[in-house]
Structure 1
Amino acid sequence: MENLPKKVRSKKLNTRVDLTAMVSVSFLLIIFFMVTIELAKPKVMELGLPERYWDDEWNGVIICGVDYHRITTILLDDNDKIVTYSGLLFDPLENPKNVSYGKNGIRKELVNKIKQVQDYTGDYRKNIIVIIKPSKKSNYGNLVDILDEMKITGINTYAIVNDFTPEETKLLALK
């Protein structure tokens, strides 16, 4: 029994798992899910639907779904020319007129029209609805100037339209 080999005992190693990478992955997953949940939330957009306007004078015709007293149209032409009118062209609230750019021109005109609409409706929250119609002869700078005036005067409801009626084309040619 002397020549028997000795039993080799294996050393038991201390098993230790490095969790540093797992912690990093966990934080990345937490951040990922927080961001995706935030992006998945529905965003609310204010929807401005037109009011119903019933006019007994025109036998109850609903015009554009909007009170035409609130509509102002701005026609842009070459050489910094602006023609503006309120209401509808076939029945304007006031005659179309030429105005200039700047605080004593179009800005003053828009502020006056806002006040007229608020006096007419009796609601200080109501504003005018502006239709901007740049002609093919007008330049991009004039359109930017008018959009600046919309921001300065606080007009949030406006549209840029490139369809001119024949009457509007004649109006630009006359003045």
Structure 2
Amino acid sequence: MKNLPQKVRSKKLVSKVDLTAMVSVSFLLIIFFMVVGELSKKKVMNLGLPDYDSYTCGERVISCDGEDRSYTILLGEDNRLVCYKGLLSTPIVSPKHIAYGKDGIRKELFKENKNTLNYSAQLGKPGRGIAVIIKPSKKCSFKNLVDILDEIAITGIDTYVIVNDFTPEESKLIALN
């Protein structure tokens, strides 16, 4: 027999695919869509609106019990604090100077909120406590404003607003010792 030339067979190479880059891109896409999904959610803020009790000739009539619930706190310089309930011209609780802390403003806020909650329950509107109006003067320290916000959080009052416009009568009242 003759030696036949043998066929030369090429070696089969095992091909490997490097997936490192694809995994990195996949994780970046997952993170991107998670962030976009979180940012696209609607943010909701509670909004306190007046009650609409009845309708007259197709128009809404708003109940006017706001001054019974409003409690104003005036913040002055040198840790001065004046509070009153209702309107300053016809207050339900007369303006009085009061101290910060648990025996001062906190005790007063607890008392007034409890009285207002009881009064609202008698009117058939349970759960409506006082609405606090905080008025810091230009000479008031930031610490005093934070202290009042802490007291409101401690007392569980959920309706409050910070306003920076003083009437001339309120400016005179906060200036008195």
Q: TM-score, normalised by structure 2?
A: 0.76
Structure 1 pair 20–152 and aligned structure 2 pair: CA distance change class (3 A): same
Go from structure 1 to structure 2 and tell me whether the alpha carbon gap of 1:20 and 1:146 turns closer, same or farther (over 3 Å shift): same
Q: How does 1:4-23 map to 2 (within 5 A)?
A: 11=10, 13-14=12-13, 16-21=15-20, 22-23=22-23
Q: Match for 2:116: what amino acid?
A: V
| CA shift for structure 1 position 90 | 1.6
Which of 149, 168, 171 lines up with 2:170 in the alignment?
Answer: 168
Contact 1:53 1:67 in 2 (8 A): no
- TM-superposed deviation, 1:53: 8.0
Seq. identity, %: 54
Letter in 1 for 2:33: F
In structure 1, distance between residues paired with 2:45 and 2:156? 18
Aligned amino acid, residue 127 of structure 1: G
1:76-91 equivalences in 2 (<5 Å):
76-91=75-90
- Aligned match of 1:42: 42
Partner of 1:111: 110
Distance change in 2, residues 1:53/1:84 (3 Å): farther
CA RMSD of aligned residues (A): 2.9
Question: Quick one: distance in 1 between partners of 2:24 and 2:147?
Answer: 52
Relative to its length, the structure with more strand (as a share) is: 2
- CA deviation after TM superposition for structure 1 residue 52, in Å: 4.7
- TM-score (normalizing by structure 1): 0.76
Matches within 5 A, 1:26-37: 26-37=26-37
Deviations 1:37-84 (A, max 9, x none): 233232333322233589xxxxxx968x76211110011122322111
Pair 1:10–1:34, CA change in 2 (3 A): farther
